[in-house]
Chains A and B, each alone.
Chain A
Amino acid sequence: EVQLVESGGGLVQPGGSLRLSCAASGFTFSDRFMDWVRQAPGKGLEWVGRIRDKVNSFTTDYAASVKGRFIISRDDSTNSLYLQMNNLKTEDTAVYYCCTDISGSSYGGYFGQGTLVTVSS
């Protein structure tokens, strides 16, 4: 059974930083592209970014709204995914979900339970 467990959310001031983690199990993590998706309170879903696998050199892509501020990384030895968030803005307030390859593969599309990040002074 695929399990994705996010952690690291909390309250942070504008301009601050936070690092989210996602512990993955139940599948071969190293073979998968991984995504972060967020949902602002009462709003819809927004893709944040993606990290590819080792075969694809762990390259990353980001939404325009977070590019230059957020960094996605992974540690295949511990089946962990990370989201480093810097220079946080109030509009970054959201539940952040760790996801397996949401593009549309048969083995992807799983979401974790999410972790809430609140950016406020």
Chain B
Amino acid sequence: DVVMTQSPLSLPVTLGQPASISCRSSQSLVHGNGNTYLNWFQQRPGQSPRRLIYKVSNRDSGVPDRFSGSGSGTDFTLKISRVEAEDIGVYYCMQGSHWPPHTFGQGTKLEIK
């Protein structure tokens, strides 16, 4: 199984400042079809997860452009250019390139300093 490792696991941030979350996979996430199925999900307190980014860098509909995804191979990053109060929650990376099983990172808790 592909192991997904996120860092940091806790990220205190100041409103208006940038934030960055790293996600590493135990093997390359390049699929046989050439795509890289690395996704990012946000889970606000008390809510269901919501996908923000798919295939490394594609923002889902309605996702603010302050969220961006980047990376390749085994190293990926989610960046928030300026953190807003509504961004508080837990962020998960997830790979869909080599399944079963689909595997998630441990989650990174974004909180206000």
Within 8 A of A (CB), among B86-113: 90, 92, 94, 96-97, 99-107
Residues of chain A at interface, number, CB under 8 A: 25
Q: Is the CB of A44 within 8 A of B92?
A: yes
Please measure, in the bound complex, the distance between the C-alpha atom of A45 and the C-alpha atom of B97, giving whole angstroms: 17
Please measure, in the bound complex, the distance between the C-alpha atom of A106 and the C-alpha atom of B90, giving whole angstroms: 22
Nearest CB to that of B107 among chain A residues? Answer: A44
A102-B94, A104-B35 known; A63+B50 contact, CB < 8 A: no
Which residues of B are found within 8 Å of A50, using beta-carbon distances? 99-100, 102
Q: Is the CB of B54 within 8 A of A104?
A: yes
CB distance from A115 to the nearest CB of B (A): 11
Q: A103-B96, A114-B48 are in contact. List 11 more A-B contacts (CB 8 A).
A: A37-B49, A44-B90, A50-B100, A63-B100, A97-B48, A103-B97, A103-B102, A104-B39, A108-B54, A111-B48, A111-B50
Does B55 interact with chain A (Cβ within 8 Å)? Answer: yes
Does B28 interact with chain A (Cβ within 8 Å)? Answer: no
> A41-67: contact bitstring with B at CB < 8 Å (1 yes, 0 no)?
000111101100000000001111000
Bin chain B's interface residue count. 20 to 34
The 10 closest A-B pairs by CB, nearest first: A103-B96, A109-B51, A104-B37, A61-B100, A47-B102, A104-B96, A111-B48, A45-B104, A44-B107, A104-B54
A103-B96, A110-B51 known; A44+B106 contact, CB < 8 A: yes
Main secondary structure of the interface of A (DSSP, over half): loop
Q: Is the CB of B102 within 8 A of A102?
A: yes
Which residues of B are found within 8 Å of A45, using beta-carbon distances? 41, 43, 49, 92, 94, 104, 107
Which residues of B are found within 8 Å of A103, using beta-carbon distances? 37, 96-97, 99, 102
> B46-60: contact bitstring with A at CB < 8 Å (1 yes, 0 no)?
001111001100101
Nearest CB to that of A112 among chain B residues? Answer: B48
Which residues of B are found within 8 Å of A35, using beta-carbon distances? 102
Q: Is the CB of B38 within 8 A of A63?
A: no
> A85-121: contact bitstring with B at CB < 8 Å (1 yes, 0 no)?
0000000000001000011111011111110000000
Q: Is the CB of A47 within 8 A of B55?
A: no
